Amino acid sequence: MNNTSFIPGLSIEMGAEFMHGENTTLTRLAEEYNIGLREIFTWAQGDGGPTEPAPDGGIGYYYIGDQKRMLKYDDEDEEFLKFNLSVAELSDLENIDEIPPEKSMRDYFNEDISLRTTCRYEKQWIELEDEGDFRVVPSFMRFVEHFAEGVTTRFKWPVAKVDYSQSDRILLTSTSGKQLSCRTLVVTVSTAVFSKITYTPSLPQKKIDAVGSFDMRRAGKVLLHMSGRFWPENAHGVVCSDCFLPEFWFNSTEGIGHLRPNGDKLCAEQETSKFVDSEAQYLITGFAGALYAERFVDMEHDQIIEGFLDQLDMIYGTVDEPSPAHKYFVKGQSDSASYDLAAPVDDRIFFAGEATAFEQPGMSVHAAVDTGARASTQVAHALQQL
C-alpha cells in the first residue's frame, strides 16, 4: 500500500519499505522483470549493521539523546563499539539448541524477545541472504501488481469464519455475513488477526499454541514533507535513544541510495526528468513500534508532528541556532512454532505469511513471498488429489 499524493513525484510506502538481503526471491525477481532498486545503508539491523557505507556513500547515524551526541555507524566510541560487537557476536554463538527457550534477549542485553530464535535467525541471515538492503523503484507496488496479474481480488472482505466440516467444500463467511466457497484455502493473515477467525471444526491445538507463541504490537509512521535538506547528505537514516521517536530515515523525489536499474525503463525516465523538473522535495519518515507507538494512540496528530519537529531541532539545530549534531517471537517459543503454524489442515487448508517461514528467518517481505510460493505448490498438489 502506497501514497503518491503527499509529495508529488514520490511514492510513499505505508507499510513495509525495505528489501533486506542481496540473494533473495525479490532481488532475483527484480532482475528478471526489470524492476529497478536503490541500494541503501540500513541503520537498524539485528546483526550490528553494515560494516561499509552503501555504494553511494550513504551511512547510518546514531543519536544518544541523554548525551546529545551524534555518532556515525563506524564511530570508535567505546560503549558504541561494545554494543555493536555484542550484537554481531550472536551469529557466532554455538550450541544454540542448548539455550533455554525461556531465556530472553533481556538476559543477553540487559525485551522479551527470544535469544534462542534470535541467534538462529542471525546465522540464517548471514548464510542465506547475503549483505545488501534496497528500496524498490518507485515502491513495492511493482511486485504487488506483478503477483496480482490475472488474479481476482476482493477488498473490504474480512473473513470471520472458516467452515471445513464438509469434505467437498470450504465455506468462508465475512464479518458482514457474505459467503464464498472453495475447495482449498490458503490462510495468510497476520498472527494478530489469526485468532479472530473461527474455524469449524477447531484447528489442531498445536497450531493454536504456535499462533500464541508470536506477538505483534502497534507500529506507525510519521511523515514530514521538506522542501530542503538540513541533515548530512550521506545520512540514510538515524537511530535515536531517549527521544520522541526511536528512528527516522530520508527519501527524496530524486531518490536516495545507489541506483541499480536492472534495465528498468522507469528508472531511465526518472533519471532524465531529474534535470528538467523543479527542485528536489524531501521526505522524513519517523517510525515507532511497540511501546513507542502505544503512546501515540490517544495523542493529537499535531502533537505528534510537533514532538517529531522538536526532536529534529534538538538533533540538527534550528535556523537561529544550528548544531552539527518489527511481529516478534516471544521467549519460550517452541523451535517448531513456525513449522506447526505452516502445517496443512485436512490437506485442504494451507498457511502462509512471515510467521510460517520455518525454512528461513520470517521477518522480511521476501520470506512472506516464499511462503506464498510454498502454499501455491501445496494447493496445486491438493487440487490434483480432489
**Amino acid present at 337:** A
* Helix, strand, coil tally for the chain in percent (to 5): 30, 25, 45
Same domain, 60 and 110: yes
Same domain, 273 and 229: yes
Take residue 210 and report the three cell numbers written for it: 504456535
| Residue at a domain's end among 249, 274, 294 | 294
pLDDT of residue 49: 56
381: left (phi over 0), alpha (psi -120 to 50) or beta: alpha
pLDDT of residue 126: 57
Beta strands across the sheet bearing 19-20: 19-20, 133-136, 37-40, 258-260
CA distance 199 to 204: 10
187-199 in b/e burial notation, b at 16+ Cβ within 10 A? bbbebeebeebeb
Same domain, 18 and 92: yes
Same domain, 124 and 174: no
DSSP H or E segment with residue 70? strand 69-72
Same domain, 202 and 255: no
Same domain, 365 and 227: no
pLDDT of residue 23: 86
pLDDT of residue 329: 44
Q: How many residues does the chain have?
A: 386
Q: Answer whether residue 61 is part of any domain.
A: yes
Domain count for the chain: 2
**CATH number of the domain that residue 157 is part of:** 3.50.50.60
Same domain, 225 and 208: no
Which residue segment(s) compose the domain that 173 sits in? Answer: 153-215+329-385
CA distance 75 to 77: 6
**174 close to 157: Cβ distance less than 8 angstroms:** yes
Q: Answer whether residue 318 is part of any domain.
A: no
**Across the strands, what pairs with 150?**
none
Predicted model pTM: 0.81
Same domain, 227 and 270: yes
Same domain, 93 and 78: yes
Per-residue pLDDT of the chain (386 residues; tens, 9 = 90+): 789 999 999 999 998 899 988 889 999 999 999 999 999 998 876 555 557 899 999 999 999 999 999 999 888 888 887 777 766 666 566 666 766 766 655 555 545 555 555 556 555 555 665 678 999 999 999 999 999 999 999 999 999 999 999 999 999 999 999 999 999 999 999 998 998 999 999 999 999 999 988 888 889 999 999 999 999 999 999 999 999 999 999 999 999 999 999 999 998 887 666 655 568 999 999 999 988 899 998 999 999 999 999 999 999 985 455 444 344 444 455 678 899 999 999 999 999 998 999 888 777 898 899 999 999 999 999 999 87
Backbone angles phi, psi at 280, to 5 degrees: -60, 145
